[in-house]
Amino acid sequence: MRLATILTPHGPRAAVATADGYVDLHATDPGLPTCVKNLLAASPGIRKIAAEAAAGPNAVKYAANAVKLLPPVPHPAKILCIGLNYRDHAIEGNRPIPPEPVLFAKFPNTLIAHGDPIVIPKVSEKVDYEAELVVVIGKRGRHIPNDKTAFDYVGGYTVGHDVSGRDWQFRGEEKQWIIGKTFDTFAPTGPVLVTADEIPDPHNLQVQLRVNGTTLQNSNTKEFIFGVPHLLWFLSQVITLEPGDLIFTGTPPGVGIARKPPVLLKPGDVCEVEIEKIGVLKNPCVAES
């Protein structure tokens, strides 16, 4: 399924994206969850019922232009991010291949949906783009094995944009990764979440980013240094992963700060992140008022 969260007159609702709109699952069948997080955590039988309800004659459907999209998971408990996870990105920055995943985090204030504006802060002059595949957890787990059984804990995948204030991220001798990553609006996700059964191999997906129509990032997740099972194993040694948690898996080469001259985001720019089999996440940039 291609899941979304839409804003309806009854509040945010889990929906299935169709060719011409969105099916409100709870309105179609009151026995189904109202939120994507609970749907991911539900049994395979419930998800099958949801798919059948969305395709049935009684589906409560909204036209695509009649609803406001929210982030696919509007209120994740955790937003975990991996730095330097593409071989070609490490080469771009003349950095050694890391021996283990580099972890940082974002907070829920950063989340925005497809179509929402990225706000360029008054206090940052080096706002950069980073296209990312986002893993969405579907099952609670701790000490997840580093093997194919790790995929049992994956609910699905979505498109993410790890917007970064580089002047804040790298300020001072100690650096400030988290503060540079957590300005309001710095984590667009969406437009949909594709359930894991539709992407059996997340390690062979084309990832692209365009600014104003110009392609600036273009790589493939086969360049991952650490694949999905390794990331889940590494993180779950310390953190209990919960349904709806988001894991940004790193960005490919072509980031703006590494270009000569640098290419940085400014008000009026339009960013598009496209990931094969998932879709296009599009957000305009605006100045902080």
- pLDDT given for residue 94 in this prediction: 76
pLDDT in tens, 16-47: 999 989 999 999 999 999 999 999 999 999 99
User: Cα 256 vs. chain centroid, distance in angstroms?
Assistant: 20
Mean pLDDT (whole number) for 135-164: 98
Could you tell me the pLDDT band of residue 220, with boundaries at 50, 70 and 90? very high
Q: Which of 249, 273, 256 is nearest to 83 (CA)?
A: 249
For the chain, give the percent of residues with pLDDT over 90.
92
d(CA 205, CA 283): 21
CA distances from 140 to 183, 239, 241, 276 (A): 28, 11, 5, 27
Write down the pTM of the prediction: 0.97
For residue 277, pLDDT over 90 is answered with yes
Locate the DSSP E strands across 125-278.
127-128, 131-137, 154-161, 164-165, 187-195, 206-211, 214-220, 246-248, 270-275
- pLDDT given for residue 257 in this prediction: 93
Strand partners, 132: 160
d(CA 231, CA 221): 14
pLDDT in tens, 60-90: 999 999 999 999 999 999 999 999 899 888 7
Q: 93 φ, ψ to 5°? A: -95, 10
